[in-house]
A and B are shown apart, each in its own frame.
Chain A
Amino acid sequence: DGGITQSPKYLFRKEGQNVTLSCEQNLNHDAMYWYRQDPGQGLRLIYYSQIVNDFQKGDIAEGYSVSREKKESFPLTVTSAQKNPTAFYLCASSSAGTEYNEQFFGPGTRLTVL
């Protein structure tokens, strides 16, 4: 079945540690996205990538980093520079061939800083 997988589902981090969230898709989509979801704030874009080896900052990129070495994979690293990383993180992908940019979402990762 085609889809997007994210791992782990739950992640705990101690302050000062970097952690990496995994996102993989087998939909053959060119574009991938990372969103952060906080209560009452909807989804906010962290980073996006339209093609391999290229990515762009979104609205709240500070304290995060990404890579796009393969079309299928778009991992997100939450660095120690992110002051308030506890949140729900959603990965999405879309096909570059459509105008309307319908995005398909993964099941998400809940990150908690201890």
Chain B
Amino acid sequence: AQTVTQSQPEMSVQEAETVTLSCTYDTSESDYYLFWYKQPPSRQMILVIRQEAYKQQNATENRFSVNFQKAAKSFSLKISDSQLGDAAMYFCALHQTGANNLFFGTGTRLTVIP
């Protein structure tokens, strides 16, 4: 069975500082993808970043980067130079190749303090 765990229900960060959101997962598959989605107050889910399990290099998208530790089954999201618009719920998600859906964690609510 596959599970995704986000152990931080809430996090806060000062504007312009860096914050890291944690995610661990469990899967018996060797081929999978990991995602971070952002859900702002509008509740529209937005893809932030994607990581392929077969790639050792950590994915980066502008101020967002991940620390993918495959052996530890860990997939944390680092947000640098935090902005007020980063305030949102962040969900970690797992997709196993050949499966039909995403498995989501319970989310981390990020507050950005001006």
B30-78 residues with Cβ-Cβ distance < 8 A to A are 33, 35, 37, 42-47, 50, 52
Distance in angstroms between the alpha carbons of A42 and B23 in the assembled complex: 13
Least CB distance from A27 to B in Å reads: 14
- Decide: A40 near B9, CB < 8 A? Known: A105-B44, A108-B44: yes
Q: Are the CB atoms of A100 and B50 closer together than 8 Å?
A: yes
Interface size on A, residues (CB 8 A): 25
B35 cross-chain contacts in A, Cβ below 8 A:
102
Least CB distance from B85 to A in Å reads: 18
11 A–B contacts from the bound complex (CB under 8 Å):
A40-B107, A50-B100, A56-B100, A92-B45, A100-B50, A100-B97, A101-B100, A102-B50, A105-B46, A107-B44, A108-B43
| Chain A residues in the interface with B (C-beta under 8 A) | 31, 33, 40-45, 48, 50, 56, 58, 88, 90, 92, 99-108
